[in-house]
Chains A and B, each alone.
Chain A
Amino acid sequence: MEDEPVKAVYALYADPDAAQRAVNGLRAAGVAERDITVMSAEPIEEHEFSQRDKATWMHAIAGVGGFIGLLVAIWLTTLTERAWPLVTGNMPIVAWWPNLIIMFELTMLGGILATVITLMITAKIPSRQPRLYDGEIADGKILVGVENPSEASVSAVERALLAGGGRLKTT
């Protein structure tokens, strides 16, 4: 990324165990949970540091999106059928059997779109603000660090990161 570098102290680790030690070290040094940044090139489910921020309302929001899709389908079908009351195939003007198909499709579409929008907003992709990143993550390194640390805490953060066995970097 070609952003202006974010002020940060971080280290790169070759394996998740070392990254976990660094995260634990930062906690022990008094760094708040929300200030600890971890990045990796693939999800690492087996370690505790990757379980942070796991709780999500995405399933419920997808359900709400589906419900909105259903309401739109009911509105669209019944409104249009009543607006032009054309008898087709001896079916009633508001024919629920065929309308169920439109309702099903728009319910699913609503759920899918709500899921994607929730992902984009909660995962902050895309983001306009410059963000911490290091190209070595692509080679399998795990980044653990602190963005915008206070001057007083920098040395403690550096010690914690080095204790984890990482290669220290500052930007």
Chain B
Amino acid sequence: MNEATARRINGDLLRPLLYTSWRFWALVVFLGAIVLTGLGAWLYQMYFGFGVSGVRWPIFWAFYVTNFVFWIGISHAGTLISAILRLVNARWRRPITRCAEVITVFALMIGAMFPIIHLGRPWLAFWLIPYPSERGIWPNFRSPLVWDFFAINTYLTGSILFLLLPMIPDFALVRDKTTGWRKTIYSALALRWQGTPKQWHRLESAMQIMAIAIIPVAVSVHTIVSFDFSMAPVPMWHSTMFGPYFVAGAIFSGIAALILAMALVRRFLHLEEYLHPVHFENLGKLLLMMSLLWTYFIFAERLTIWYGNESAEVAVFQVTQRGSFAPLYWTMVVCNFVVPFVILSIRKLRTIAGCVLASSTVLVGMWLERFLIIVPSLGHKYLPYSWGRYQPRPVEIMITVSTFAAMGLLYVLFSKLVPIISVWELKVGEHPFPATVVHQAEDVPLWKTNP
């Protein structure tokens, strides 16, 4: 790659870090205000007690656990997709990987907050940590909630490291291109990176190993989240297909989140030259495939329940298909299948705008899907005396809305501090294909002339 290309890439990708417009601050203030309102709602819930939420018998899991499952699902956007694309050496992955990996880390952080919010008394959250307490009760490894603790923390640790390691060479680049306090901070973050062949080889080997390790961990995380449901004898939960069904749904919503994030980054950071329509088209195809897979799972699940005709399960089935939850159910079907299928299966519609539209509806649909898994089943258990209704309260709605703002805020701040596209990986993509290089080497046998 020539020097002019290197300077151009550096200039384009470091611009968001070095120059700040009023729009950035306006966005930070706007999103920050929503996040603060959400924090206020949480404090209100803590002060007045969990009764201010709509969570009560028999529906003890509602918005908060819906959000937990939804955000853990969104986290599959990044590390999993990035790891798969790295392992298959997809060249088009280069501008995408960091955009995706960041989503994983922030979505996991937000998702992992919800069990704590759901506790009602968050100051007792340390009880979730497996440790021998003063009462002599050791952690119960037979509880799926303890499995969650290990799975989410392993995935979070792996994802943070998977994100951080390839950032070190980019921190070194920012260090070299800045002065003053910025240089001091980025010098510390760069860990005295030099860019010797040994360092590059070790970094790439480490990324390859972590990509291999992180894929099964990502699959395990959402399988274990599904076990929170499927291990319980609740109608429509106790199913062997919940593991793969949740994993497919997580990847589905994750790809939608990634497309949306990429479109926003492209638009607001003016990265049109790096995030091309082909990136959206490729991800759009993946989204279409996952939409079809999700539809297959929904069909298999619903057909089995309907055909089995077990009274408690059919009660839940009917209330979602024809009863009070039917508007939400059919909205979910339209959002997750009809809209993406129509838009993404027609090549002319598989544009950036089309992919963004399909992704937006998928995110809505997948949130509804999580809600419809949890609430109708808990409200219609085996005996009618345990049936009940759920009405979300403002505090839950506010906290839910604020988590979306928190995701946006964290993403905006991250893209201000770190190049949102991995600069060095993008530069590698500018190298000629190996076949071309071999051809050049035959013309100019460098090391044959200099033994």
State the A residues within 8 Å of B (CB): 1-2, 14-15, 17, 20-21, 24-25, 27-28, 37-54, 56, 58-59, 62, 66, 76-77, 80-81, 83-84, 86, 88-89, 91, 95, 98-99, 101-102, 104-106, 108-109, 111-113, 115-116, 118-119, 122-127, 131-133, 135, 137-141
- Flag if A101 contacts B209 (CB, 8 Å): no
- Flag if A108 contacts B158 (CB, 8 Å): yes
Q: How far is the CA of A131 from the CA of B3 in the complex (A)?
A: 24
- Flag if B157 contacts A84 (CB, 8 Å): no
Contact of A38 among B196, B209, B428 (CB under 8 A): B196
Interface residues of B in 1-34 (CB under 8 A from A): 1-3, 5-7, 10
- Flag if B209 contacts A58 (CB, 8 Å): yes
Q: Which residue of A lies closest to B138 (CB)?
A: A80
B384 at the interface (CB under 8 A from A): no
B105 at the interface (CB under 8 A from A): no
- Flag if B191 contacts A125 (CB, 8 Å): yes
B424 at the interface (CB under 8 A from A): yes
- Report chain B residues within 8 Å CB of A59: 205, 209
B142 at the interface (CB under 8 A from A): yes
- Flag if B198 contacts A95 (CB, 8 Å): no
- Report chain B residues within 8 Å CB of A44: 197, 431
Q: How far is the CA of A91 from the CA of B444 in the complex (A)?
A: 70
Interface residues of B in 105-152 (CB under 8 A from A): 130, 132, 136-143, 146-147, 150-151
Shortest CB-to-CB span from A74 to chain B, Å, is: 11
- Report chain A residues within 8 Å CB of B321: none
Query: Contacts A41-B424, A141-B3 hold; do A111 and B194 have CB atoms under 8 A apart?
Result: no
Q: How far is the CA of A116 from the CA of B202 in the complex (A)?
A: 10
Contact of B173 among A20, A41, A105 (CB under 8 A): A41
Contact of B213 among A2, A14, A24, A112 (CB under 8 A): A112
- Report chain A residues within 8 Å CB of B173: 41, 138
B217 at the interface (CB under 8 A from A): yes
Shortest CB-to-CB span from A17 to chain B, Å, is: 6
B195 at the interface (CB under 8 A from A): yes
Query: Contacts A50-B197, A137-B176, A140-B1 hold; do A111 and B209 have CB atoms under 8 A apart?
Result: yes
Query: Contacts A42-B424, A77-B141, A98-B147 hold; do A140 and B6 have CB atoms under 8 A apart?
Result: yes
- Report chain A residues within 8 Å CB of B224: 101
Q: How far is the CA of A18 from the CA of B19 in the complex (A)?
A: 35
Q: Which range holds the interface residue count of chain B?
A: 35 or more
Interface centre among A27, A58, A99 (most CB of B within 10 A): A58
B389 at the interface (CB under 8 A from A): no
Q: How far is the CA of A111 from the CA of B215 in the complex (A)?
A: 13
Leading 7 A-B pairs by shortest Cβ distance = A140-B6, A24-B450, A138-B176, A43-B200, A126-B191, A53-B198, A80-B138
Contact of A135 among B136, B153, B176, B216 (CB under 8 A): B176
- Flag if A41 contacts B175 (CB, 8 Å): no
29 contacts between A and B (CB under 8 A): A24-B446, A39-B194, A46-B432, A48-B447, A53-B201, A54-B197, A56-B202, A76-B130, A80-B139, A84-B138, A101-B147, A101-B224, A104-B216, A106-B150, A106-B154, A108-B154, A108-B220, A115-B206, A122-B198, A123-B202, A125-B168, A125-B192, A125-B199, A127-B191, A131-B192, A132-B194, A137-B176, A138-B177, A140-B5
Q: How far is the CA of A108 from the CA of B142 in the complex (A)?
A: 20
Shortest CB-to-CB span from A121 to chain B, Å, is: 9
B437 at the interface (CB under 8 A from A): yes
- Report chain A residues within 8 Å CB of B191: 125-127
Q: How far is the CA of A28 from the CA of B147 in the complex (A)?
A: 60
Contact of B447 among A24, A52, A54, A98 (CB under 8 A): A24
Interface residues of B in 365-419 (CB under 8 A from A): none
Query: Contacts A62-B213, A109-B158, A131-B194 hold; do A119 and B202 have CB atoms under 8 A apart?
Result: yes
- Report chain B residues within 8 Å CB of A88: 140, 142-143
Interface centre among B137, B175, B193 (most CB of A within 10 A): B193
Query: Contacts A2-B187, A21-B450, A105-B154 hold; do A15 and B2 have CB atoms under 8 A apart?
Result: yes
